[in-house]
Amino acid sequence: MPPAAATDTLDAVPDAAGRPAGGRSRRWSRRLPWRTAVAAAGGIALLFAFPGWSLTGLAVLGPAALALAVHGQRARSGAWLGLVLGLAFFVPLLSWSGTYVGAFPWLALAVSQALFVAALGAATAAVSGLRLWPLWTAALWVLDESLRGRLPLGGFPWGRLGFSQTDGPFLALAAYGGVPLVGFAVALTGALLAAAVLALVRARRAAAPRAAAALVAGALAVPLAGAAAWLPLPGSSLTDGGPAVTVAVVQGDVPEAGLEFNARRRAVLDNHVQQTLDLAARVAAGDEAQPDLVVWPENSSDIDPYTNDDAARAISRAAGAIGAPILVGAVVEGPGEYLSNTGIVWDPESGPGDTYVKRHPVPLAEYVPARAFFRFFSDKVDLVRRDFTHGTEVGVLDMGGARVGDVICFEVVYDSLVADTVDAGAELLVVQTNNATFGYTDESAQQVAAAQVRAVEFGRSVALASTSGISAVIAPDGSLVRSSGLFTSAVFVEEIARRDGATLAQRLGAGPEWALSALGAGAVLAVAVPALRARRSRA
């Protein structure tokens, strides 16, 4: 890693103790408010890149703003500025998490995520004196998101830079290095733009405009490379790339939004049964194609069909009428005191068959670790009366002549859970989800955006079934072929190719993430190790 170099004449030159030298101390303190404003504006710009607004091009302004705000600053100031950007982004982005449970769980989640951005701000400030600092800055975004997606309690990788790119040139990079490479490209473009701004305002050197122009050219080269990366990738056709199966996605809707969405559990099941019966009538009339398989959402049967004969008969009636297996999202009793969030393949002749049990139940929503501890902060944890178990098997299910890869709800944002499903032979992906507990918010659209990126990452079409919306059918280029509204019933019937090719992202697996994370960590060490040695020599 190259040694630190002079960076910006706007920044104070520190003395031996690390404090801004001489009269620059007051000048530095005066600059902190505008740096704070820049960081906050970066968080808001990043928010606008996500569904709700979907101004995807604004995503680069988040990393650009953070890089500008922390450049030449101490790690402590960088942490503050990162926290400001993180709060400006995550508090509104995650507002759906408090829709029916109040402000405390929402703000606690948002602050916990913003703390990771605070660490990112500190690290970005530390490496801002290195040569090639835009590269290290972009790698640090990948490192920060990799940690946030794993810690604590399995992490929460929502709101990653890559998930903002549902269209545009950066999205193609998902096929080559997954979500981490997309995020790296967004962050690198932003950091290069920040470097260009600094080059224009720092010294009155004749070379400064040329340096700024070179940096702008570099920033433009990244999305241009992404645009070129589209050329060998699949297009918007659902049927190209392999023999097709006809898939029906059923959104039955729920009686009411909120935490009590399934208080009338039989009504929710009946809604999905009735929509399937109506589809069968249209098929018989020749108005719809005969599906090879049908997808119902998560929580479409919160009555355990293994123990409740009435629920089992209702599902069998629907499967028999449509003449195709149904992937039912059910809450199943057991093992032991636990519940299982389960996808069940329900055959029209033989009944329940293969199953997939959700492997990553949501902490504090589907299970409560250290219940007494968390109850001290909020009694809402007791809304989770029984914990859900963690499944152990990959969700590849044989149904209707296809190998269907099933992930349930938030699992779609976890790289490894989707990757090993495709590695196990999934020819198309299915996301079963229930969004009724988030009301009329952007949560569902944000989840669809993640599924769009996964489609490109693995070159697979995605069928997303929600109890109450948004349900969608997504082509391998990430485009929405069909999508529903919130809190309405909908049925989609589409031919979808069974694809078995492997993208470069699939072959490389977590390699790009680890390599880029190591690059960022190495940059921090290149600054931290000499600083520690210098401190010890002075002691």
Two structure tokens written together for 428: 């198309």
Predicted local confidence at residue 389, as pLDDT: 97
Q: Of these residues, 380, 409, 411, 427, which one is catalytic?
A: 409
- Return d(Cα 157, Cα 492) in angstroms, integer: 29
> DSSP per residue over 492-528, as a string?
EEEEEE------HHHHHTTHHHHHHHHHHHHHHHHHH
For residue 207, what pLDDT is reported?
Answer: 54
Q: Does residue 4 register a pLDDT over 90? A: no
| Percentage of residues in the chain having pLDDT higher than 70 | 92
Of 96-110, 151-165, 354-368, which range is least confident?
96-110
Predicted local distance difference test score (pLDDT) of residue 282: 98
258 — pLDDT class (breaks 50, 70, 90): low
User: How confident is the model at residue 260, as a pLDDT?
Assistant: 60
Cross-strand pairs, 301: 330
pTM, two decimals, is 0.92
Residue 154: pLDDT band by 50, 70, 90 thresholds?
Answer: very high
CA neighbor of 411 nearest in space, from 396, 431, 426, 381: 431
pLDDT over 60 (residue 3): no
Contact 474, 451 (CB under 8 A): yes
Q: Which of 98, 182, 183, 80 lies closest to 141 in space, CA to CA?
A: 183
Assess whether pLDDT exceeds 60 at residue 438. yes
* 438-461 mean pLDDT: 97
**Contact indicator for 478, 453 with CB cutoff of 8 Å:** yes
Is there a catalytic annotation at residue 366? Answer: no
H or E stretch including 428? strand 428-433
What are the Cα distances from residue 369, in Å, to 47, 153, 378?
A: 30, 9, 14
User: What rounded mean pLDDT belongs to the chain?
Assistant: 92
Query: CA-CA distance, 456 to 474, in Å (whole number)?
Result: 10
* pLDDT at position 20: 42
* Residue 9: burial class (beta carbons within 10 Å; 0-12, 13-18, 19+): middle
Confidence of residue 27 (pLDDT cuts 50, 70, 90): low
Q: How confident is the model at residue 206 (pLDDT cuts 50, 70, 90)?
A: low
Going by C-alpha positions, the residue among 63, 62, 59 that lies closest to residue 51 is 59
Active site residue 409: yes
In this prediction, residue 210 carries a pLDDT of 78
pLDDT of residue 101: 84
Q: Among 98, 93, 100, which Cα is nearest to 114's?
A: 93
pLDDT category at 19 given cuts 50, 70, 90 is very low
Pairwise CA distance, residues 238 & 241, whole Å: 8
Task: Single out the catalytic residue among 145, 358, 366, 443.
Answer: 358
d(CA 330, CA 356): 10
Confidence bin at 535 (pLDDT 50/70/90): confident
Token pair, residue 277, equals 């019966």
pLDDT at 311 over 80: yes
Catalytic-residue membership of 393: no
